Amino acid sequence: MTEDSLGKVLLSADSIRRKVREIGAEISRDYAGKQPVLVGVLNGALVFMADLMRQIEFPLETYMMAASSYDGYESTGTVDIIKPPDVSITSRNVILVEDIVDTGITLDCLLESLQAEKPASLEVCALLDKKSRRQVEVPIKYVGFEIPDEFVVGYGLDYNQQYRNLPYVASMNATAVNGTG
């Protein structure tokens, strides 16, 4: 994969930084005195969560969990939880941090798994929301950006484990994603 594989920049580093600051301020207001636990979804939410937690104005705990539902750029339709959070979330205020919500299938499975632990509250914070692809309705309290139905990379999102390190979000050229370029 080369830079030629990238399409247009959809979200600049500056616009992402401003939005993360806004979401951090909103979470700080909503959870003041409630000691929330942030649970990020590996690997995509790692960059977003690292920046987000620095914008929250009080001490908090952070953990990661992992699920698998993609092969390259296509969802397999099944979700496997590979790594649950390393902490009991029973009776805790939990914010699940996602990079992108697409079909909603993965998020629905993650929420079901976390709800089984009986948290005091469970909300979702997603950097990107691709509502046009939704197959399962899922509640998202904090949304950074709604984006069109394009395959995107950067700021933690990948294509075959590449491009996560880009400071912006860009579309992929169709020829690169389809393997014809």
Enumerate the active-site residues. Answer: 102
The alpha-helical segments, DSSP class H, found in 31-62 are 46-53
Cα 11 from chain centre: 15
- Which residue, 144, 36, 28, is CA-closest to 152? 144
Longest alpha-carbon distance in the chain = 53
The alpha-helical segments, DSSP class H, found in the chain are 13-30, 46-53, 105-115, 174-177
Q: Phi/psi at 80 (nearest 5 deg)?
A: -115, 125
Q: Do residues 144 and 23 touch, judged by C-beta distance below 8 A? A: yes
- Which residue, 114, 139, 142, 154, is CA-closest to 21? 142
State the Cα–Cα distance between residues 31 and 178, nearest whole angstrom: 43
What lies within 8 Å, CB to CB, of 7 at 6+ separation is 150, 170, 171, 172, 173
